[in-house]
Chain A
Amino acid sequence: MVKLIGWLLTNLFKKPLTIEFKGKSLKAVRGTYRGYPTHRGERCAACRLCIYVCPSDAIRIEGSLFIINKCKCTACKDCADACPFGAMQFIPRLIGTAISKNEYMEITEIKLVKCENCGEPMPKPELLLGRLLGKPPKTIPPYLKLCPKCRRQFFKPT
């Protein structure tokens, strides 16, 4: 008790531990903070593996739009672990406050390429090849520049 009162009295002359509250600077956190996912459209192959593993249904793909609903995201990092192309990244940044829930929708566009024959959008072939070979490919074989449908037309299995 006497010791505690001594601490309390010495605390009076110390600087308070409280951090200053100044708008944006609050969002800075330590490097070990896990943060929340961001999506990189140029690396995404739209394989939907992240949708499959997400426990809280936070990810949705509509056409070529990739939507992360941060209202639902629990920062479990399953999507980043499951993604074969490293398109989901966790950056140490806080989720802010909002007045409407729409502010929590993070929408990014998946960068798709067009099939050389029919113009149908399809994922980048070099992503798949890079995953298969373990390193970025030097040349892309011509049949991989076609969408699966066209590929079957041109290269019929015998």
Chain B
Amino acid sequence: MEFLKDLFLYPGFLFGFVLGGLLEGFKRKLKARMQLRKGPPVTQPFYDLSKLLLKNITKPYRISSFTYLLIPFVPTAALLVGLLIMPYPFYQEKSSFSFDLILIFYLTELPLLSQIIFGYFSNSPYGMIGAARAGQMFFYYNGVFIMVITTLCLLEGPPYSFCLKSIAEAWDPLDVLIKILTIPFFVFSVLAKLKLNPFSIPDAEAEILKGPLTEASGVALALFKLNYLLELAIFGSLFAFFYLPVLKTSPTIGLILILLGAFFLFFIFALVENATARLRLSQFSALYLKFLIPLATLILVITWVFKNW
């Protein structure tokens, strides 16, 4: 019973869904206001999602409808578990999970993998191109993301456990400096993970329709959107756990700090999305290979040297 409550209410489904929806709505509103538009209401993602539930499904010819719905459903389950293994205040004391960062990293990759599989499965040329692009991008930004995670893990001391809780509790002056240094890398890799504007290469509209999701409709599309919202919630709170003293304060202030951090991250995203145009795949890989991956490696080495000498 307690577990079901965790899964569906506080750190699980409802919390992730509402936080993700509000983050997406906030980002759209901010983007509109930066362009001197009025913008949609903040609750717009919820309307979008609930509309899709009642719609008919038009699936491609000769495709199993069971698989059509199963592919987006698996990452939804994975992301719910991903929310459960984050040390949210009011929850982390009673939780028996070990808050493993590697596991969170793996679970948040599942939506992308499911999209790639869906792109190839749906038999649409646009879906295949989008899936191929997403698959190529996968290696670049995950390189940076793993560097960031490893750098942060080095902060916690010799028995490196990749535990999110111990990263969130590392607040020495040197730790803070290194944490601040890794912020741009985190932001860039998460931008690419969420396929936001300068890196919206896999689902470039007007170019390859909607990329891997071209053939998704009705409930399948709603599940993909739900996955996206849950991902937003996970990355928003991950930002707060990494860079704000969430677990150092009382649980209430910690929760408020998580919300503040997530909304601040999406403020940055809205700014970056408005200020940049979509890159080509070659430009994207050049940016990552020439600048971001070497610099992230440099920071990792510096951290290791400082921590061990």
Q: Do chains A and B touch in the complex (CB under 8 A)?
A: yes
Residues of A within 8 A of B (CB): 1, 4-5, 8-9, 11-12, 14, 16-18
- Is residue B96 within 8 Å, beta carbon to beta carbon, of the partner chain? no
Identify the closest chain A residue to B32 (Cβ): A16
| A16 engages B37 (CB within 8 Å) | yes
In the assembled complex, B38 has its CB within 8 A of some CB on chain A: yes
CA distance A11 to B35 in the complex (A): 7
Interface size class of B (residues with CB under 8 A): 10 to 19
A1, B38: Cβ atoms under 8 Å?
no
Whether the Cβ atoms of A16 and B38 lie closer than 8 Å is yes
A10: nearest residue on chain B (CB-CB)?
A: B34
The answer for the CA separation of A17 and B39 in the assembled complex, in Å, is: 11
Pairwise interchain contact B37-A18, C-beta atoms closer than 8 A: yes
Lowest 5 CB-CB distances: which A-B pairs, in order?
A8-B34, A18-B38, A17-B36, A16-B38, A11-B34
CB atoms of B37 and A8 under 8 A apart: no
CA–CA, A1 to B32, complex, Å? 19
A-B residue pair count with CB separations less than 8 angstroms: 29
A16 adjacent to B275 (CB under 8 Å): no
- Our pick among B30, B32, B271 for the contact of A5 (Cβ within 8 Å) is B271
Residues of B82-106 whose CB lies within 8 A of A: none
Taking a contact as CB atoms under 8 Å apart, the answer to whether A8 and B38 are in contact is no
Residue of A nearest to B276 (CB): A1
Contacting A at CB under 8 A, from B157-215, are: none
Question: Contacting A1 at CB < 8 Å: which of B34, B36, B37, B275?
Answer: B275
Interface assignment of B303: CB less than 8 Å from any CB of chain A:
no
Asked if B33 CB lies within 8 Å of chain A CBs, one says yes
For B48-60 the 0/1 string (1 means CB < 8 A from A) is 0000000000000
Contact B33 A11 (CB under 8 A): yes
Complex CA distance for A8 and B35, rounded to whole angstroms: 7
Cβ of B34 and Cβ of A4 under 8 Å apart?
no
* B39 CB to nearest chain A CB (Å): 8
Interface check B274, CB cutoff 8 A: yes
CA distance A11 to B275 in the complex (A): 13
Chain B residues numbered 20-66 whose CB sits less than 8 Å from any CB in chain A: 30, 32-39
B213 CB → nearest A CB, Å = 28
- What residues of chain B lie closer than 8 Å to A18, measured between beta carbons? 36-38
What A residues does B39 contact at CB under 8 A? 16
CB neighbours of A14 from chain B (8 A)? 36
Known: A5-B275, A11-B33, A11-B34. 11 other contacts (CB 8 A): A4-B275, A5-B271, A9-B34, A12-B33, A12-B34, A14-B36, A16-B32, A16-B37, A16-B38, A16-B39, A17-B36
Q: In the complex the two chains form, what is the Cα distance from A1 to B276 in whole Å?
A: 8
Chain A contacts for B32, CB-based, 8 A:
16
Question: Which of chain B's residues have a CB closer than 8 A to the CB of A1?
Answer: 275
